[in-house]
Amino acid sequence: MPLFPHADQLDTGVDYINQQVTQLQRQFPDASYSYELAIEYLSENRFNANNYKSIRSELNLLFNWAWFTHGCAIAELDRVSLRKFIDFCNQPPEHLITTAAFPYFITDKETKAVSANPKWRPFVKRGSGGYIRKQATLKAQLSLLSGFFLFLEDMDYCSKNPAAVLLRRLNVNNTRIAATSEQDKALSPAQWQAVWQHVNVLANTQPHKHERSRMLLAILYSLYPRVSEIAARPGFTPLMSQFYRHRSGQWLYRVPQSKGGKSRAIPCPKDLMHCLIRYRQFLGLSPLPKPGEDLPLFVRHQAASHGREAGVLHAQLGIHAIQSIVKDIFSQTATEIEQAHPYDAQELRQFTAHSLRHTGISNMLAQGASMQAVMKNAGHSDLSTLSIYANADLTEQVAAATKQALS
């Protein structure tokens, strides 16, 4: 069952949850206290929507499994039991898996009462095939839980951090996870050119629908932000004024808050600025944003059918809407190039909006840009993270292979 509220509900609480936790007190005397500690930990992360959502998801899984499946208090979890929890998450029961994400709670429009959403499930399977997680997903889960257990240690609730132990001992041989794919996560130069050419055709022939698509892809490729950094979410609305002119004359795009609560400014290439001017002129705006301009960056063409902005026509694009637009452009481009380049087309259909972040970063590194500069632009905390974007190893392998003559 969903146990943890949205960030906006932390102050008021949810009666439904209180009732559930109170009933658990009979079996686990410290259930209420451990739940309060979890809420306090979430409160410390409430101003970063990405962190809050990820932590809430992992804590919800952990508490549900500990109380309702394993039958133990949170303080009793050790390395062995947490190992069982990880195995459970890697291969969950079918009735806990869904193919679409649903909100934890629903609110009655008349009474405003909050209740559990019967459609919600803790595990979401996207695409065909069975449910299986990647190693990166597992590492992220253990890292988030390790932070929570460290907090519990600070609060003198427990004296061990089993998540940290498992994270140190994690490898592909002791965990049921998806094998690492050798497929590049970034679009090839030819694939990107095909996508860019196609979206330009769409923008020229269907401007009311695709001028926005053109600007969206230009930002994702040129500035390589995370999708969440240009999408609307609770407490954050991307604005035109995030494009601003530095005293040096360079235009920058400001990300006010991102992963880890950090902010950064990304220099804008000239081609992107030309795209911005074209996009704003299409919208009937001045060529470039003015200081303090509070106009939204991207808005919906159709009202949302569900969610917090259901029925609102000019609501900002959220993460799922942006992902859907990019996926649709990729699919159309794949269909267009399929006859001439079937392998490129097949691969293109597997890419996502996040692939453009990989593409932009890989392109900058290939052009010889400073890794330090690319790291800052991408919002990474250390240089080692960039290793996942560099594809020089394969290039060197190909160059070496061509020298291996048979005679």
Residues 42 and 74 in one domain: yes
In a domain, 90, yes or no: yes
In a domain, 13, yes or no: yes
Task: Indicate the average pLDDT of the chain.
Answer: 83
Do both 59 and 100 map to the same domain?
Answer: yes
Instruction: Say yes or no: 370 and 229 in one domain.
Output: yes
Same domain, 224 and 259: yes
DSSP assigned state of 299: B
Radius of gyration of the chain, Cα coordinates, nearest whole angstrom: 24
The reported pLDDT for the residue numbered 287 is: 96
More confident residue, 49 or 96: 96
Answer yes or no: do 165 and 194 share one domain: no
Which CATH number characterizes residue 240's domain?
1.10.443.10
Q: What are the tens digits of pLDDT across the range 65-107?
A: 999 999 999 999 999 999 999 999 989 999 999 888 888 888 8
CB 378 within 8 A of CB 387: no
Residues 210 and 163 in one domain: no
175: in domain: no
> Is residue 34's pLDDT more than 60?
yes
| CA distance linking residue 372 with residue 395, whole number of Å | 22
pTM of the model: 0.62
Report yes or no on 407 lying in a domain. no
Round to whole Å and give the CA distance between 296 and 309.
15
Answer whether residue 184 is part of any domain.
Answer: no
pLDDT band per the 50, 70, 90 thresholds, residue 312: very low
Burial of 100 (0-12, 13-18, 19+ CB in 10 A): exposed
Identify whether residues 84 and 196 lie together within a single domain: no
Q: What is the pLDDT of residue 392?
A: 46
Query: Considering only 20-34, 88-102, 380-394, which range has the smallest mean pLDDT?
Result: 380-394
CA–CA distance, 398 with 407 (Å, rounded to integer): 19
Q: Give the residue from 58, 52, 67 showing the smallest Cα distance to 8.
A: 52
Same domain, 275 and 214: yes
Whether 405 is covered by a domain: the verdict is no
Total domains present in the chain: 2
Question: Is 180 part of any domain?
Answer: no
Among 137, 169, 201, the domain-final residue is: 169
Q: Are residues 230 and 160 in the same domain?
A: no
82 with 119, same domain? yes
Say if residue 122 is in the same domain as residue 206: no
Q: In 3D, which of 259, 272, 249, 200 has the Cα closest to residue 226?
A: 259
Q: What is the mean pLDDT of residues 248-252?
A: 94
Cβ neighbourhood burial of 241 (10 Å; 0-12, 13-18, 19+)? middle
283 inside domain: yes
128-183 pLDDT, tens digit per residue, is 677 878 888 888 899 999 999 999 999 999 889 999 999 888 764 555 554 444 44
Residues 108 and 205 in one domain: no
What is the C-alpha to C-alpha distance for residues 179 and 346, in angstroms, rounded to an integer? 20
The full DSSP string for 17-59 is HHHHHHHHTTT-TTHHHHHHHHHHHHHHTTT-HHHHHHHHHHH
What pLDDT digit, counting tens, does each position of 193-236 carry? 999 999 999 999 999 999 999 999 999 999 999 998 999 877 78
26 confidence band (pLDDT: 50, 70, 90):
confident
Q: Which domain holds residue 59?
A: 7-169
Q: What are the tens digits of pLDDT across the range 358-370?
A: 999 988 888 888 8
